[in-house]
Structure 1
């Protein structure tokens, strides 16, 4: 039986919309052996993996990718995935980073078997609560002669470092305190002399066996690195090794920047006589300038992706494909089924840096389309996107308020906008009238808008740009500017009438076209205001509208005219479905306003 596993099902997570909790169906991962495939791609036994972030910053997509890889390996092999907070760097802790860490991971849809918030048999899962364990293991190394106390002051260390640099030597510790006897070292420590504890390294760094890079050999000798700092807290290297051993971690997947430090970790494992876990160092994520992503760089933090309105499943799909590929050839379809269908997860990763790309836009649109087409997920998708969408609307409203007396287009939307349409206002939760502090647009109206055009959603602002005049009124100035852009064409508008013999063409004014359209639409009752009835009523008329070029040939212009009437020429969803969405009253209002603008220009 192969050790390649297939992940199936629906990962579920809770989201917290404004009204009530909902479950956002995703992929619930469980494993079964796949038929065929290389047996080296996954371990045959259940894997215990961990995600061990430091709360010195917020989770970014590189961190999420590392967590996801460890999560998938544990789930694919029927093992356990745990979260451990490595908070020993007390000087650089960000106050709310730990709380945000759990919020962001849960928002993304990941769950863990053990951690600070859920407990487990190997806790505590915060390093600041495990100091006694680190002290005991450091004392063990001291007794075994594999570590020693260093009483050098920071100033003395700086002097040593500068001297080494001046002499073109590696600025490593010169082992000054390694010659102090154990008795004197213990006496000075008992007297309160400040000190750190250093690991006594062998001259040659041990080899590292890595699942991605193969055998790694450090190009420099191993120095006597610090394992316990002067403040009594362990360094990352020491606490990491002790915790991974005590928590029975079998596999460590992390960024390739840690590969150069791994010889230190292996040396510690060897000193304790422990079996190291298997390491897999994945390529670093870099931006378009080939700069490493930082958890302090806001544009890649998960909060920024949430503000952009990306679906968590789309983000997971996106980060999964950064430096990892399925065993079969990737296709456009495969991109969007990796987390919602079958995943043949494995441990083959890309070597070298991985540049972030813009596939998130394609995946976002694909996952929204897929969820909406399934019907049952529509409310969950809307609940997930609603906060970011309402925030974007509020931002546009604030900018509109500051530009009300300006004739310039809206800075975010690129066109001029009026008030939010009366039918879109929210009074459903508070009973308040438009213009109060209640939400600007009702959730039911946005839900209906998603029915019309949700499959085009990529981001909140893109969605608002595409549907701008299904939310805001069209200013007269916008109608005027967009019509005047047609220029000389307006003097050559004709109606083509088909009859017996050759088709006849008659010159028409735009205002006359609008008047004819208005009369036709008025004849449709409210009950019959449907897509088919509107199309049957105005379709032949719209198709007959054109303009005559210099060669006297007829060029169709009717649908462009109708788009000018309905949405001031702004791009958006299909016209007749948009008219149904707007309703008869709002549509007639727009046709009448367009007619008046055309008359004023013609005059």
Structure 2
């Protein structure tokens, strides 16, 4: 454990901080250790990303460990989905369940024998004890604490049981609790600096093995971090109060603890904490919304600092994963909670869309994605005539790049006309003058400038010179061009479709 007397001056703090960073610099090992209780969300991804950036910036190893000891909350398929989401984002592991490694298995439910041996060691050393208190008694303690306005805590009753009392209870269910001592729980946090918490003064002895034989987080993560030779633990600040307990566990085992860094909370605009129950912040939901992985990476790192160039103009452009690694500095992570700047996600996604459309490969990928999205949206329940030629898709993407934040926006009712041509049968039921449409087509062919203003003026003049009520004429044109009753103005539709496509659609109506 770190000596608290080392931190009496700012100079000493700086020395120790730099020692912490240099410690094991040649063999940095960090882990991302999620519980498979649902889809990966924004807060979990931020933790995964910062661990990755730290490991790679130090030339170290990045490990995936699945913490599934709370069996009642495990969701089938969550592990595979999590790994798929992280791979989509460019985050890959050096060791893990699918990759293997020298410190496996990497799923906690497959490591139960390790925790059993560790718990027995603590019992043998007198650092832990069996607790036979029933749920009913524990519930009464909680209710009494609430009634008297105290923080609920276990009263350590079973810590003082003598041999005779223990013998009498040997056939009862029990949990194993860790004895908290009066150590000040001091540790150095690479983000929050000097942290002191006398955990025994505010908490009762924590459960480290449940009645079903499975370990709690406190025991399992300490045992695994030691056995897997983890040198740095980066996790959310909500775990900081537990770190003092973990330091005491390391002390009881006689092990050297890793370096700890706690990441500040991500908050909603209204000041509430991001929650797993917010389905719209899962990584899967962003994938379905058409968000680029590069955009999501840059969006997440814009929350909370950690980068040497955050105050430069480069923060207004998309950075590659390699750039993020080279610029990452754990000393620059903010210790204050930060509100998530949701508007930046649209900015970063539009910026990445421009980058994609500026390259041949990126444009081809975008065309394929758009075609797939359109087919899924429009071919499910109706037989339609879709215009999905590569040139048309590419033209629409280039037109839309300054107008949309992601490709999915092009697949809604207002833009349906871009992809769907009016059917032959619907054209046949329309009542209009084909000769007049032929004249309009010839008129449009001779136009040099095909923009909204020129088209608006041209259509007004055409309807007036042919003694047609303008509103009725626009309704007819809208039906011929789009087959829809609403959407952008007719002149805007024409500009979006382009001169060639408009002429082709008018020709079908003649």
Matches within 5 A, 1:197-208: 197-208=176-187
If the length of structure 1 is used for normalisation, what is the TM-score?
0.67
Deviation string 1:241-282 (CA, Å, 9 cap, x unpaired) is 111111111111111111121111111112112222221111
2:196 is aligned with 1:249: no
RMSD: 4.0
- Please point out which of 333, 338, 344 is paired with 1:349: 333
The answer to whether the 8 A contact 1:452-1:573 is kept is: no
Would the alpha carbon gap of residues 358 and 577 (structure 1) be closer, same or farther in structure 2, given more than 3 Å must change? closer
Counterpart position of 2:442: 519
Q: Distance in 1 between matches of 2:420 and 2:294?
A: 31
3-state SS of 2:307 partner: coil
The verdict on how the C-alpha distance between 1:534 and 1:286 changes in structure 2, with shifts beyond 3 A counting, is: same
Residues 270-419 of structure 1: matches in 2 within 5 Å? 270-330=251-311, 333-339=314-320, 342-343=323-324, 344-347=327-330, 348-356=332-340, 357-383=342-368, 387-393=372-378
1:116 to 75, 83, 97: 97
Offset at 1:55?
1.1
Decide whether the 8 Å contact of 1:579 with 1:587 is kept in 2.
no
Once the 2 structures are TM-superposed, how far is the Cα of residue 444 of structure 1 from its aligned partner?
7.9
**1:291–1:180 distance in 2 versus 1, CA, 3 Å:** same
Q: Which has the larger helix fraction?
A: 2
The equivalences for 1:181-200 within 5 A come to 181=162, 185=166, 187=167, 191-200=170-179
Cα deviation digits, residues 187-232 of structure 1 (max 9, x gap)? 568x543111110111344113211112222376242111111110
Render the CA deviation track for 1:380-421: whole Å, top value 9, x for unaligned. 344556655544445xx75xx7xxxxxxxxxxxxxxxxx844
Shift of 1:470: 1.4
How far apart are the structure 2 equivalents of 1:258 and 1:542? Answer: 62
Distance 1:188 1:339, change over 3 A: farther
* Structure 1 residue 240, shift from structure 2 partner: 0.8
1:541–1:211 CA distance, 2 compared to 1 (3 A): closer
1:156 and 2:137 correspond:
yes
Q: 1:471 aligns with which of 396, 401, 419?
A: 419
Residue matched to 1:259: 240
Q: Aligned partners of 2:219 and 2:453: how far apart in 1?
A: 79
Match of 2:465 in 1: none
Which one is further off, 254-263 or 227-236?
Answer: 254-263
Task: Compute the displacement of 1:547 (Å).
Answer: 8.2
Residue 216 in structure 1 maps to residue 195 in structure 2: yes
Q: Report deviation, 1:316.
A: 1.6
Which has the higher mean CA deviation after the structures are superposed, 278-287 or 85-94?
278-287
**In structure 2, what is the equivalent of residue 91 of structure 1?**
72
Separation in structure 2 between the aligned mates of residue 445 and residue 542 of structure 1, nearest angstrom: 21
Distance 1:393 1:458 in 2: 21
Q: Are 1:171 and 2:118 matched, yes or no?
A: no
CA contact (8 A) 2:64 2:95 kept: yes
SS in 1 for 2:303: coil
How many pairs were matched up? 463
In structure 2, runs of 5+ residues without a counterpart are: 1-16, 424-433, 462-469
Contact 1:42 1:346 in 2 (8 A): no
Corresponding residue for 2:448?
535
- Contact persistence 1:251–1:278 (CA under 8 A): yes
**Which residue pairs with 1:570 in the alignment?**
488
Counterpart of 1:68?
49
User: TM-score, normalised on structure 2?
Assistant: 0.78
Structure 1's 323 and 329: CA in aligned 2 closer, same or farther, altered over 3 A? closer
Alpha carbons 1:205, 1:264 under 8 Å: kept: no
Q: Which runs of 5+ in 1 are unaligned?
A: 1-37, 402-418, 425-441, 476-510, 525-532, 549-556, 593-603
Instruction: Give yes or no for contact 1:307–1:388 (8 Å, CA) kept in 2.
Output: no
Distance 1:246 1:451, change over 3 A: same
Displacement of 1:141? 0.9
Tell whether 2:498 aligns with 1:579. Answer: yes
Contact 2:441 2:506 in 1 (8 A): no
SS in 1 for 2:248: helix
Distance 1:67 1:329, change over 3 A: closer
Kept after mapping to 2: 8 A contact 1:520/1:538? no
Q: Trace 1:26-37 onto structure 2 (pairs within 5 A).
A: none
d(CA) in 1 for partners of 2:488, 2:254 = 70
**What's the offset of the Cα at 1:472?**
2.6
Which shifted more, 106-115 or 283-292? 283-292
2:431 corresponds in structure 1 to: none
Cα deviation 1:98-147 (Å, max 9, x = unaligned): 22222222222211011111111111111111111001111111111111
**3-state SS in 1 of match to 2:35:** coil
SS, match of residue 231 in structure 1 = coil
Could you say if the C-alpha distance between residues 458 and 183 of structure 1 is closer, same or farther in structure 2, counting changes exceeding 3 Å?
A: farther
Partner in structure 2 of residue 459 of structure 1:
406
Q: 1:234 to 1:206 in 2, by over 3 A?
A: same
Give 1:463 shift.
1.9
